[in-house]
Chains A and B, each alone.
Chain A
Amino acid sequence: MDFQVVVLAGGTSKKLVPLVSKEVPKALLPVANRPVLSYVLELLELSNLKDLIVVVEGQDAALCVGAWISGAYIDRLHVEVAAVPEDVGTAGALRAIARHLTAKDILVVSGDLVSDVPPGAVAAAHRRHDAVVTAMLCSAPVSGPSESGSTGGKDKSKNPRCYNIIGLDPTKQFLLYIATGAEIEKGTRIQKSILRASGQMEVRADLMDAHVYAFKRSVLQEVLDQKDTFQSLKQDVLPYLVRSQLKSEVLLNGVQQAEETGNEKGSSQNSHMILSRILSNASAPSFHKLYALGHDGSAPVRRTHKCCAYIASNSKYCVRLNSIQAFMDINRDVIGEASHLSGYSFSAQKYIMHPSAEIGSKTTIGPQCMVGEGSQMGDKCSVKRSVVGRHCRIGSNVKVVNSIVMNHVTIGDGCSIQGSVICSNAQLQERVVLKDCQVGAGFVVSAGCEHKGESLARKEK
C-alpha cells in the first residue's frame, strides 16, 4: 500500500527516571512482563506491516533494543533499528533517518503506545482524503488508580488532566486546531480564516493525540528541511501543518507544475477542466476546496492542504506510556480490563501465574494479578492487582497491592508495598513499608524503612 512505518521508540526518558536506566530504555519497560515496544510491534504485525524502522535515541539504548528485537522477532518481522543522537526530538529523529524514507506516505507510531486501534484505519482515512497529515485521536485516559480509594494519587495527575485542545470541523474529519494542554493556559489564538472557512468548529478537550501519524512523505521532508528549529512532531510539526492548512506553504511545487503544463495545451486543458469539474461536483466539497476556490468559484487562487483526524472509538484501548502514572495505569489495565492486549490467557480466577512460580501456604493472589516465571513467594502473602516479574523472591507475610515488581527483586519478610514500582534487581529488606514509591534498579532499601511518595534510586556516579 506504499506506506512505510517508523516506530519512534525514544531513549531513556527523563520523565520515567527511576524506572528507566542504561540497561532498560523506555522501549523495554515491562508491561505485564513484556517490553512495551512489543505491543506496538505486535499491533503492526497484526496489520500485516512487517517492514519497520525503529528509531531509538542513543547508541546504547539502540543496542539494547536491537538485541531484544532480533531475539524476539527474528523470523517474524523485518526491523531496522536506527540510532539517533539523544535529545534531537521526534522531528529530529525523522530528519536523521530521512534518507531511508522512500514510500509515498509514512506512518509514524510512537513506541510507547499500548493500543488495539488498527493503524490501517488511520492510513485509510489518510488516503481517502489525500491528506497531508492524519493524526489519531483517542479519548483521554482516566489516570490514577481507578476505583480503589486505598491509595491517593501520587501526584497531581489524578485530577482530570487536559492533554490536548483539539478543534474539529463539523464532520469530525479535519483538524482545525491543535494544542497541548500546557500551552492553553497562557491563552491561545485560533485563526479566523480557518474558522470562517469551516463555518463551525468543535473544540474538544477530552481527546488525546495518540502519536500515531500518517504523513505525506514529500510534505514531511519539506517541512523538516525548511524548519530547522522544529524539534517535536507533536508540538511543532503538527500544529504548524494545521495552522497553515489554508495558506499552504508545502505542496507548492507539485501543483504549480501541473498547472503550467496544463496551460501549454489549450484543448487538453479545457477537457482537463471539465474532468476536474465533474469530479469535484460529484463529491461534497470540503471547506478546503471551497476556500481555495475563492469567491468567484473559478480557478483555485489559494493553496490548501488537508489535515485529517481519525478518532478511535471509545471501545478501543489506547494509552501512551509517557509518565510513571501512565506506566502503572497501563500495567493495571493490561492485566485487567484490556486483558486481550496482553496475549495471555487468564485463569478462572482472573490471574495469571506462570507454572514455574511457587507460592507458599495461605498466600492469596487476587484477580487481575500476574506472577512471572520462576518467582517464589513465602507464606501468608497477599497480592492484589499487581504484577510480579520473573525470578522474584518474596518472603513471608508480604502485602503487594497496586504495584509493579519487576524481575529478580528480593523482598524481605513483612514488607508492605502499595502503589509502587520496584525495578529489577532491587532489594527490599525486612519490614519495609512503601507507599507510592519508585525504587530504582539495584537499589537496596534497608530494613524497617518507611517511605511515602518517594523516588528511591542509586546515585549515578
Chain B
Amino acid sequence: MDARRGAGPRAVPKVRQVGFFTRNPNPNSPSPPSRTRSVPPNSNSPASGNSLSPVMIPPPRHVSENLSYLRTTAAVPVPYSRRIAQEHVTVVGSYNPADSVLGETLSPSFLDDNSDASTTLGWFSRSGSGKLAAASSSLPSGGFDLTAVKFDKFCGLEDKKQSQIPEKIGGVAVEAQNEVPSSSKPNKAKTTKAERRALQESQRAAKAAAKGEGNKSAASSRGAAPAKPQKQPSQKKDDPLVALSIAASDRKGTDRPPEKERKKEVPAPRMQFDDKNRVEKAKKRALVNQTEARNRVELFRHLPQYEHGTLLPDLESKFFQLDQMHPAVYKVGLQYLAGDICGGNARCIAMLHAFQEAIKDYTTPAEKTLVRDLAGKISSYVSFLIECRPLSMSMGNAIRFLKNRIAKLPLTCSESEAKASLCNDIDRFINEKIILADKVIVRHAATKVRDGDVLLTYGSSCVVEMIFLYAHELGKQFRVVVVDSRPKLEGQALLRRLVAKGLSCTYTHINAVSYIMHEVTRVFLGASSVLSNGTVYSRVGTACVAMVAHSFHVPVLICCEAYKFHERVQLDSICSNELGDPNAIAKVPGRIDLDKGTNKENLQHLNLMYDATPSDYVSMIVTDYGMIPPTSVPVIVREYRREYLLI
C-alpha cells in the first residue's frame, strides 16, 4: 500500500499536465514541440487558454449543495461553440470526476472545495507542469492540496465503492449531457454507453461543422482530447465499466470506427485471479493444466500464480493433443514457459515470427472468411501464449497491430495476397518498430555519452547494451557499472558480452547501488513498458536504482522503443504485475533451501517480476521519436498510435 499512497499525490499533477491543452507559461515545461503539434495555434489554443472561463465561474454556493442541481445550473455560460466546449469537457473531465464523486459520496461539505478546485484549474495546469513541490506551495488556495489529499484517499477506496459511483453519477447526468455539454464535465470519465454515444454523435456533428476536415490540427486536437479521460479511470481498472470507457476513449483518439468494430476492440476487463468463479471458468477453457500455487501472498492474490513445476511437463506431454496450435506458436509458448526466451523485444519478435509462420500455413476453411477466421485463430494463439506466460504490454501492442491489420484487409483480396500482406506487415513491424527504433535510440542515446562518463545500467536491456557498444565503437572513453540482482542474474550475461567487446566494467549487486552511485554520471535503463503517466514499468529493481540515482542527482535515461508505450496508467506495481516462480528465490544454489525446516504454512514467497518507476525519477526517455521527458509519453501514444495502426 505504501507505493500506492506515495504515488497518489504525485501522480495527480502529472495527469493534469499531460495533455498540453492549457497554455503553459512555465518556461521549463516539457516538450513544446508536441504541444505545437497537438494544439493548433489559431483557434484552439486561445480557446483552451480562455476555455476555463466557463468552468471557472463558480456556481452559486448556496445551490451547489445538490450536485445534480449544480450540473444543470453550471451550464449558464456557454459562450463558445459546442466543439470547443466539449473539448474542455474532456479536458476537465479527465480528473474532475474524482472530486465530484468525493463530493457526493464522501462529504457533501466538500462540494465547496470542489467548486473551488474547478475554479483553480488554471493554476493546476500551469503549476502542474513544473515541480510538484513548487506547485503545491504556490497555490493560493488550499484547493489543490485538498484535492490531492482527497484524490489520494479516493485511490485507496475499495473497488466496490468505486464501481457503484459511476452508475450513480451516470444516472444523474444523463439528461444534462446533451443540452448542456459543459455541465457534464465532472462525470465524463464514467459515462454510460448511451451517454458516450450521445457525446460521440454530438462530436461528430461538431466535426462536420468544423469546416476543415483536412485541418490536421483541429482533428488531432479533438482526437487528443478524449485520450485524456483514460488516465483517471485506469487507477481503478478493476472496474469493468471503466475498462469500457478506457477502450472507448482510446478509440475516439483514432479515426472513429463503426460502433460494431468498437465493441470488438473493447478489451475484456482484466482477469482478477482472486475471483474464484471466473478462475474456475477460465480453467475449463485453458489448454494447459494449471495448478494454482497454494501459499500466495494476500496482496497479490489477484495475479495468476501457478505451480511452476507442473506446467512444463504437462504442456510437454500434451504435445500431440494440441492440434489446433500451430507448431511454431507451440514452440514459442514452450520457450516462454521454460524461460528460454525472456526480454520484451525478444519475446515480441519470437511471437510475431510464430504468427508469421502460422499465417503462412493458414488456409481458410470452407464457408468461412479469412478475416474472421484468422482473427479467431490468432486470438486462440494469444490465449495459449498467455497461459504459458502473461503477455508483456509491448506484445499486447503488437497483437493489437496485427489484429487491426487483419480486420483492415480488403474483402476483395485473395487468400494468398492477404497472407503475403500480413507477413509483410509483421516484417515491417519488426523492422520499423523494433530494429530501426533500436538503431535510432542508439544514435540518440550515444550523444549523451561523453568521455570520462561512468554509466550505470541495471539488469540486461538489449537497447542499453547496443548503446554501450555503439558508444564504444565511436571511441568514447567511459566505464560501465552493471548492477544485477537475484534470482535471474541477467546482468552477468550482459557483463560477459560487454567485457568481451573490451569495455571496462564494474559488476555489483543491487544491494550496493547506493555505494556505487557516487561515481556514476548517468544511468541507462531499459523498460518493459512506459505508461502514459510517465511511469516506467520494468524489471523489478529498476525503481530502486532510479530512485537512488535521483537522490544522488544522477540523470536517469530510460531507453525504450515507442511500440512499448501504453496508454494505461499505473500508479503502483501491485494492481498489475507478474509473479515469477517462488522457488527461484527460495532456492539458492549452494545454500540450504528456505523451505527446509520452516513451517510452510506461514512462509510465503513473493517473486515479483516488474515494478513501476514513478516519472519523477526519470530525467528523460530515449525513444525512436527522440528524447522526451516522461510527461510527453501520452503525446507519443496519442499521435503515433494511429499511425502505426495504419502502418
Could you list which residues of chain A lie within 8 angstroms of chain B, going by C-beta atoms? Answer: 1-3, 47-49, 104, 118-121, 123-125, 127-128, 271, 274-275, 277-279, 281-285, 296-297, 313
Contact = CB atoms under 8 A, between A and B. Distances in A.
A63 B622 CA distance: 72
B342 A283 contact: yes
Nearest to A296: B500
B465 A1 contact: no
A283 B342 CA distance: 6
Contact of A121 (B313, B335, B345, B438): B313
Given A274-B435, A278-B345, A283-B340, A120 B493 contact: no
Contacts of B500: 296-297
B296 interface: no
B318 interface: yes
A438 to B, nearest CB: 37
B331 A127 contact: yes
Contacts of A118: 316-319
Given A2-B327, A281-B343, A283-B341, A127 B334 contact: yes
Contact of A123 (B319, B338, B466, B497): B319
Nearest to A2: B327
B84 to A, nearest CB: 46
A274 B319 contact: no
Nearest to B461: A281
Contacts of B435: 271, 274-275, 278
B323 interface: yes
A70 B431 CA distance: 54
B462 interface: yes
B412 interface: no
A282 B462 contact: yes
Contact of B349 (A1, A48, A275, A284): A275
Contact of A279 (B315, B319, B349): B349
Given A48-B320, A119-B320, A121-B319, A271 B341 contact: no
A121 B316 contact: yes
A121 B466 CA distance: 37
A279 B345 CA distance: 8
Contacts of B318: 118, 120
Nearest to A5: B320
B538 to A, nearest CB: 15
A118 B350 CA distance: 27
Nearest to B344: A282
A279 B347 CA distance: 8
A2 B329 CA distance: 13
Contacts of B317: 47, 118, 120-121, 124
30 contacts: A1-B323, A1-B327, A2-B327, A47-B317, A49-B320, A121-B316, A123-B319, A124-B316, A124-B334, A127-B327, A127-B334, A128-B334, A271-B436, A274-B435, A275-B349, A275-B430, A275-B435, A278-B343, A279-B341, A281-B465, A281-B493, A281-B494, A282-B341, A282-B343, A282-B345, A282-B347, A282-B462, A283-B341, A296-B500, A297-B497
B439 interface: yes
A284 B335 CA distance: 12
A227 B313 CA distance: 36
Nearest to B315: A124
Nearest to B318: A120
Given A127-B330, A313-B313, 12 more contacts: A1-B320, A118-B316, A121-B317, A124-B316, A127-B334, A275-B430, A278-B343, A282-B342, A282-B343, A282-B462, A283-B341, A297-B501
Given A48-B323, A121-B316, A123-B319, A281 B335 contact: no
A277 B438 CA distance: 12
B339 to A, nearest CB: 8
Contacts of A279: 341, 346, 349-350
Contacts of A127: 319, 327, 330-331, 334
A281 B501 CA distance: 14
B460 interface: yes
A4 to B, nearest CB: 12
B462 A281 contact: yes
A2 B439 CA distance: 37
Given A47-B320, A120-B320, A128 B327 contact: no
A106 B238 CA distance: 48
A281 B497 contact: yes
Nearest to A123: B319
Contacts of A284: 340, 493
Contacts, number: 103
Nearest to A128: B334
Contacts of A121: 313, 316-317, 319
Nearest to B346: A282
A104 B341 CA distance: 23
B321 interface: yes
A120 B319 contact: yes
Interface string B300-331: 00000000000001011111111100010011
A284 B460 CA distance: 12
Interface string B331-364: 1001100101111011101100000000000000
A271 B334 CA distance: 26
Contacts of A271: 431, 435-436
A274 to B, nearest CB: 5
Contacts of B466: 274
Q: For B320, B322, B331, B430, which residue has the most chain A Cβ atoms within 10 angstroms?
A: B320
Which 6 residue pairs spanning A and B have beta carbons closest together?
A120-B319, A282-B346, A118-B317, A124-B316, A282-B343, A121-B316
Contact of B438 (A48, A123, A274): A274
A407 B477 CA distance: 86
Contacts of A120: 316-321
A313 B310 CA distance: 12
B503 to A, nearest CB: 13
A1 B357 CA distance: 13
Interface string B491-508: 001100100110000000
Given A1-B327, A120-B320, A121-B319, A128 B338 contact: yes
A2 B328 CA distance: 10
A119 B321 CA distance: 11
Contacts of B335: 128, 283
Interface in B461-494: 462, 465-466, 493-494
B326 to A, nearest CB: 9
A77 B390 CA distance: 38
Contacts of A47: 317, 319-321
A278 B439 CA distance: 12
Nearest to A105: B327
Contacts of A124: 315-317, 319, 330, 334
A232 to B, nearest CB: 26
A2 B325 CA distance: 11
Interface in B418-440: 430-431, 434-436, 438-439
Contacts of A296: 500
A3 B319 CA distance: 10
A284 B341 CA distance: 8
Given A1-B320, A47-B320, A128-B331, A278 B349 contact: yes
A125 B313 CA distance: 10
B462 A278 contact: yes
Nearest to A293: B500
Contacts of A104: 327
A266 B431 CA distance: 15
A1 B361 CA distance: 12
B27 to A, nearest CB: 39
Nearest to A120: B319
Contacts of A123: 319-320
B357 to A, nearest CB: 11
A281 B341 CA distance: 9
A355 to B, nearest CB: 35
B479 to A, nearest CB: 20
A277 B323 CA distance: 32
Q: For A3, A120, A275, A281, which residue has the most chain B Cβ atoms within 10 angstroms?
A: A281
Contacts of B322: 1
